[in-house]
Amino acid sequence: MNHRLPPGTPGNGISRRRALGLASAVGLTPLAATACSPASQASSAGAGASGTTSSPPAAAPGRPPGRDPLTTDAQNRLVLLGTSGGPPWWNDSHREGVSSAVAVGDRYYLVDAGDGVGKQIKKAKLGTWTPDMRGPLDALVAVFLSHLHSDHISDLYNLLGTGLQNGVAIPDRVLEIFGPGNRGALPVSFRGEQIPADQVVNPRNPTPGTRETIEAMVKTFATDFNDRIIDSGYPPPRDFFTGRDIALPAELVDDPNGDPHPRMSPVDVFEDDRVKVTATLVQHAPVFPAFAFRFDTDTGSVTFSGDTGPSENLVELATGSDILVHEVIAAQWVAQRYPEPRDAAAEAEYQHLVGAHTTIEDVGDIAERAGVRTLVLNHLVPGNWPVEEWEKAGASFSGELVVGEDLDAIAIG
C-alpha cells in the first residue's frame, strides 16, 4: 500500500501543531518531531548543477552539531548510524561514516559499514549494549554492502575482528555479509582509458568481490585471529562470519564496462522470519555491481538507494515503500570544488561526482515517482553542507522530508 502524507507548507518554519501531527504519522516522539523538516513547496529550490545562480554556501568553522536525533518507540525502525558521504573526514562535521540499521524487534540488520559504525551501534542501543564483552553485535543478523568503496566498508573489519569480543562470536550463528561479486574486469575512465599495467593493484585479482574481500581480510589479520583462537578459545573465523556474493543473471554482468546500469527488476537476496531483502543494480559507474536494497517487514518497508545517480531500477525497487533512504550530493559544492578549467584528474573526479550521485534538485522527484511516504536524506556530500540547503530537496516531493542526522530512529510503517 502506498501511504501519503500531506504536502509540506512553503517557507522555512513549521508549527508545533503540524510537527506533532507529522510525528504521529511517521512514529516519532513529539519532542523529536520538532526537528523534522517539512517537504518544502517553495519555488526557490536552489542553483542548478552549474552552480551559477548563487554563490555556494560555506559551512561556518566550528559550527555546532545538528539537531537532537529523532526517536521512536516502534519495534520496527530505521536507525541512521552515520550520515556522512565520501571518504573525506569533513572539517567541522559531526557526522560519522555511512551506515544504517533496520531494527526488527530485538534483532537488527546493517546496510554498509562506514567509519565509526561499531561505536554508533552501541550509542543506538542496539543488541546487548549495557555489559562489556557481550554485545551489541549479538543481535546483528546480517550485513548488506551496497558496494565496496572504502567509505562503505572501512569499519567492516571492526565488526568482524574486534567484533569477536563484542558479540559476533555466538555459537551456532554465522553472520552473513552480502554484497557485490567480483567485477570481472578492471574499470575504464569516463574517456574509456584503462589503468596502466604497472599501476594495477593486485594484478592477479584486481577486482575482488565481497566473498573474496572478506577472505583476504581474514588472511591480512591472521596474526590476531590465530592469537584469539590460541589465547582466548575463540572459534576460527569461518565459524562465525562469511561473505556472500549477490547472484545476478549472467547477461547483466557479462560486460561490466558496457551499460553501467542495465535495466532489471529486483532479485531476492535474503529472507528470515523478520525481513525479506531484495536488491537491484544502481548507477555508480565505474563501480559495478552497485546495489540498492529493500527491506520488507510485517509493519512496512524501507528502501536504501546506496550510492547512485538517478535510477529507474531504484524507482521500481522503492515503489510503495514507507521510507526511502537516499544519498544526495550538492551540485553547487561539486562545481565549487572543481571549477573550470579542470586537469585530467580533476575532470575524472568531477565526472564521477556528478554522474554517479544524485543532486539535491533530483532526489525529491525520484521519491515522488516511487510514491514513498518519507524521504530520508543520507550519505550527505559534503558532510558539512548547511542543513537548509539539503531541505531544498523537498521542493519536488509531497511527502515528509527528513534531513538525516546520526542516530535518527524512524518507525517503519
pLDDT digits (tens, 9 = 90+) for 383-411: 999 999 999 999 999 999 999 999 999 99
Could you list the residue range(s) of the whole structural domain that residue 167 is in?
A: 16-57+66-188+205-411
Query: What are the residues whose beta carbons fall under 8 Å from the beta carbon of 27, sequence distance 6 or more?
Result: 72, 73, 74, 77, 410, 411, 412
Residues across the chain:
413
DSSP letter for 196, please.
P
- The verdict on residue 390 lying in a domain is yes
Give pLDDT, residue 66. Answer: 78
Query: What are the residues whose beta carbons fall under 8 Å from the beta carbon of 272, sequence distance 6 or more?
Result: 141
Report yes or no: 260 and 183 within 8 Å, Cβ to Cβ: no
**What stretch of H or E contains 111?**
strand 107-111
Q: DSSP of 125-174, one letter per residue?
A: T-SS-SSTTT-SGGGEEEEE-S---HHHHTTHHHHHTGGGGGTT--TT--
Helix (H, G, I), strand (E, B) or coil at 81: strand
- The verdict on residue 196 lying in a domain is no
- The verdict on residue 393 lying in a domain is yes
CATH number of the domain that residue 38 is part of:
3.60.15.10
Report yes or no: 174 and 141 within 8 Å, Cβ to Cβ: no
| 27 φψ region: left (φ > 0), alpha (ψ -120 to 50), beta (else) | left
Give the bridge partners for 241, in sequence order.
Answer: 175
User: How many domains does the chain contain in total?
Assistant: 1
Locate cell 559476533: which residue? 168
User: What is the pairing mode between strands 241-245 and 267-271?
Assistant: unpaired
Query: What are the residues whose beta carbons fall under 8 Å from the beta carbon of 53, sequence distance 6 or more?
Result: 46, 47
Alpha-carbon separation of residue 150 from 34, 147, 157 (angstroms):
34, 9, 12
Helix (H, G, I), strand (E, B) or coil at 77: strand
- The verdict on residue 251 lying in a domain is yes
* Model pTM score: 0.85
Q: What is the pLDDT of residues 152-178, one digit of tens each?
A: 999 999 999 999 999 999 888 999 999
Please report, in angstroms and rounded to a whole number, the separation of the first and last CA atoms in the chain. 10
- The verdict on residue 195 lying in a domain is no
Query: Would you give the distance in Å from CA 76 to the centre of its chain?
Result: 18
Locate cell 546493517: which residue? 110
CA distance 122 to 350: 36
Query: Would you give the distance in Å from CA 380 to the centre of its chain?
Result: 10
- The verdict on residue 6 lying in a domain is no
- Helices (runs of H) and strands (runs of E) counted in the chain: 13, 14
- The verdict on residue 405 lying in a domain is yes
Along the 413 residues of the chain, how does pLDDT read in single tens digits?
Answer: 333 333 333 333 332 222 323 333 334 433 333 334 333 333 233 333 333 334 445 544 444 567 999 999 999 999 999 999 999 999 999 999 999 999 999 999 999 999 999 999 999 999 999 988 889 999 999 999 999 999 999 999 999 999 999 999 988 899 999 999 999 999 988 778 889 999 999 999 999 999 999 999 999 999 999 999 999 888 899 999 999 999 999 888 888 988 878 999 999 999 999 999 999 999 999 999 999 999 999 999 999 999 999 999 999 999 999 999 999 999 999 999 999 999 988 998 898 899 999 999 999 999 999 999 999 999 999 999 999 999 999 999 999 999 999 999 999 99
Query: What are the residues whose beta carbons fall under 8 Å from the beta carbon of 334, sequence distance 6 or more?
Result: 49, 51, 350, 353, 354
DSSP letter for 400, please.
E
CA distance 176 to 202: 26
Upper half-sphere CA count for residue 407 (Cβ side, 13 Å):
19
- The verdict on residue 330 lying in a domain is yes
Report yes or no: 64 and 386 within 8 Å, Cβ to Cβ: no
CA distance 300 to 227: 44
Report yes or no: 305 and 363 within 8 Å, Cβ to Cβ: no
CA distance 97 to 117: 7
CA distance 199 to 323: 42
CA distance 66 to 310: 27
User: Which of 289, 320, 321 has its CA nearest to residue 304?
Assistant: 321
